[in-house]
Every structure is written in structure tokens, then in C-alpha cells.
């Protein structure tokens, strides 16, 4: 069944309330692996978010950075999952229960759940925004295949959560590590290629390193499977004003972060190849 991409950008009750900085208290922290922590907080607006949307998260005295929601509940409990890759994320990962952070959002569009046979491809913490999506897919898809690729066993994410989500539904999981310390040795995109050779899929969802998503997109094009990809770019404003997240004619914070196959076809000169750095200069990925 064709997927309807119309109205995939949730319309907030009030943009001013969404864009206003709110101070929230961290109510739970969980160390996911050697470099990654999940932080849970209470926020009514986040409880209305859709899978794939992101927050602008302010770490007092440091910086404000974009982070996708890795858990969304109607009760207002929401989570972000953070990898230590820069000054702001390292400072955030030092936070504990009771500490405060600032948030704006949720911003951007969202994944659209598809019926039929679907595949989710996550690289590293890119698996985060795919988790709320999986919660929706298990209710509508005929089969859900979750594929996760990391460098080593110590980088694995959400193993127990994935198993719990897939209980009682037609499903398959594939885990790869580059060093062979868990699951299949190698890159997750190589396993995507194997799956597409032997099985027909109705939709592929992907989030993670851009070169991984680009290779996944090329494979999907080869086998005529539509893709929804969550892109990551440097974001300053989160609302489409500053242009720091521009790719082609699109601004990831406003036109994305979820881009479709049709949109990605128009970005082949940049997608998986270059992005803007903090000065606005184009640099190779």
C-alpha cells in the first residue's frame, strides 16, 4: 500500500510555545554503553511528538545542540540518547538525576509508518529515533526487520528494548560489529545488501552515519524500495532561519530531518559526501 507523505509535519498548537525554552529536570539516567547515556525528563509538548522529531537541547553554560527523541510517551515522559562526540554532548553526559537542561521543540517532520514488510537500519546512536518508530510499526507492519551496526560490542544499543518490542510479531534482527565482537562481523550495509537480494521490502527507514545511509539509499534505489532517512546536520536555530543545516535547497531542521527517496534523489551531489561546518564552509564527510 502506498505511503501518504502528506501532513507528515505535525502542526503544533502554538509555535511560540514549542520554540520557547523550557527548563526540565532529568528524572532518570541510564548508561547504555561505554559512551552513550539516555536521559529521561517530563515535558507535555514532547509527549505529543512523533517518531523522528528532534529537540534543541541547551546545556547551561556550554551550548545548544539538536538531539532526536529516543522515547516518547503520552504521559509526557520523553528521552534523548546521547553519544559523547563533542564538548556539549560530553557535558550533557555528565548530568545526573535532578540536574536541569533547557529544551525547545519538538521540531521537524516525522517518520511515516508503512504497512507490509519494513526494514529499519540504524548505525550507532542513529538507532535512537528508530525506537519510537518501531513501537508504531509493530502495530501496522506485517513484518519488522531491525538492523543495527556498531564498531564493537561495547557500542551496542537497546538490545533488550528491541527484543521486547518485537515479541509476538513477525520480525527479524541483525546485529553487526566491525570487529566481529558481537553478531556478524562487518558493516551493516553489507547485510542490507544481502537482505535486499533475497527478500522484498515495502519501506526502509534509516538513521546513522551519512555514508551508511547513502549506501543504504543506493541499494534501495537498485531494488526499487522507498526510503525514509533521518539526516543530521549542524543546527543553530532549529526553525529554518540560520541555514547552518542546509543541504542542496533544503534545510534539514525545517524540511527534515526525515527525507524521502524523492528528496534524496535531488541531493546526490551532497548527500553522503559533504556538509557545512561551523563556519558555513562545505567539507567532505
Each domain of the chain, given as residue ranges in start order, spans 15-107, 116-284
Backbone angles phi, psi at 121, to 5 degrees: -120, 110
Q: Considering only residues 76 and 41, tell me which one the structure prediction assigns the higher pLDDT.
A: 41
pTM of the prediction?
Answer: 0.93
Task: State how far the Cα of 257 lies from the Cα of 121, in Å rounded to an integer.
Answer: 16
Supply the pLDDT for residue 272: 85
On average, the pLDDT of the chain sits at: 92
Q: Which helix (H) or strand (E) holds 130?
A: helix 130-140
Task: State how far the Cα of 79 lies from the Cα of 96, in Å rounded to an integer.
Answer: 14
Q: Say what percent of the chain tops pLDDT 90.
A: 77
Could you give the angle at which helices 188-198 and 210-222 cross, rounded to 10 degrees?
10
How far is Cα of residue 152 from the mean position of the Cα atoms in its chain?
Answer: 20
The model's confidence at residue 2, banded by pLDDT at 50, 70 and 90, is low
CATH code for the part of the protein at 15-107: 2.40.30.10
- Region 6-29: mean pLDDT is 78
- Region 46-54: mean pLDDT is 94
Beta strands 36-42 and 77-83 are: antiparallel
Supply the pLDDT for residue 201: 98
Residue 243 has pLDDT above 60, yes or no: yes
Residue 12 has pLDDT above 60, yes or no: no
- Region 89-95: mean pLDDT is 94
- Region 159-167: mean pLDDT is 95
* In 169-239, alpha helices (H): 188-198, 210-222
> Quick one: CA dihedral 81, 82, 83, 85, positive or negative?
positive
DSSP annotation of 157: -
Q: Say what percent of the chain tops pLDDT 70.
A: 95
Supply the pLDDT for residue 284: 84
Beta strands 282-284 and 274-276 are: antiparallel
Residue 1 has pLDDT above 60, yes or no: no
Does domain 116-284 sit in CATH 3.40.50.720? Answer: no
Helix, strand, coil distribution of the chain in percent, nearest 5: 25, 35, 40
Unique residue bearing C-alpha cell 522484498: 200
Amino acid at each position: 500500500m502506498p505511503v501518504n507523505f502528506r501532513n507528515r509535519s505535525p502542526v503544533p498548537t502554538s509555535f511560540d510555545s514549542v520554540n520557547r525554552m523550557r527548563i526540565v529536570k532529568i528524572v532518570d539516567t541510564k548508561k547504555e554503553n561505554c559512551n552513550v547515556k539516555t536521559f529521561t525528563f517530563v515535558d507535555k509538548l514532547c509527549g505529543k511528538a512523533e517518531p523522528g522529531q528532534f529537540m534543541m537541547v541547551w546545556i547551561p553554560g556550554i551550548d545548544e545542540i539538536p538531539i532526536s527523541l529516543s522515547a516518547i510517551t503520552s504521559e509526557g515522559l520523553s528521552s534523548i540518547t546521547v553519544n559523547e562526540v563533542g564538548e556539549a554532548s560530553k557535558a550533557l553526559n555528565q548530568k545526573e538525576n535532578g540536574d536541569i537542561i533547557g529544551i525547545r521543540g519538538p521540531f521537524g517532520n516525522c517518520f511515516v509508518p508503512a504497512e507490509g514488510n519494513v526494514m529499519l537500519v540504524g548505525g550507532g546512536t542513529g538507532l535512537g529515533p528508530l525506537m519510537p518508530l518501531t513501537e508504531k510499526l509493530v502495530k501496522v507492519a506485517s513484518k519488522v526487520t531491525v538492523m543495527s551496526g556498531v564498531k564493537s560490542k561495547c557500542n551496542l544499543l537497546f538490545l533488550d528494548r528491541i527484543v521486547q518490542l518485537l515479541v509476538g510479531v513477525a520480525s527479524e534482527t541483525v546485529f553487526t560489529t566491525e570487529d566481529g565482537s558481537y553478531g556478524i562481523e562487518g558493516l551493516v550495509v553489507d547485510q542490507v545488501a544481502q537482505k535486499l537480494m533475497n527478500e522484498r521490502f515495502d519501506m526502509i527507514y534509516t538513521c546513522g552515519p551519512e555514508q551508511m545511509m547513502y549506501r543504504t539509499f543506493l541499494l534501495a534505489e537498485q531494488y526499487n524500495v522507498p526510503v525514509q532517512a533521518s539526516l543530521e546536520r549542524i543546527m543553530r536555530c532549529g526553525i529554518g532561519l540560520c541555514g547552518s543545516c542546509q543541504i542542496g535547497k533544503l534545510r534539514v531542521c525545517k524540511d527534515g530531518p526525515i527525507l524521502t527517496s524523492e528528496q534524496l534523489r535531488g541531493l546526490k551531489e551532497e548527500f553522503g559526501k559533504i556538509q557545512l561546518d561551523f563556519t558555513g564552509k562545505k567539507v567532505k564527510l
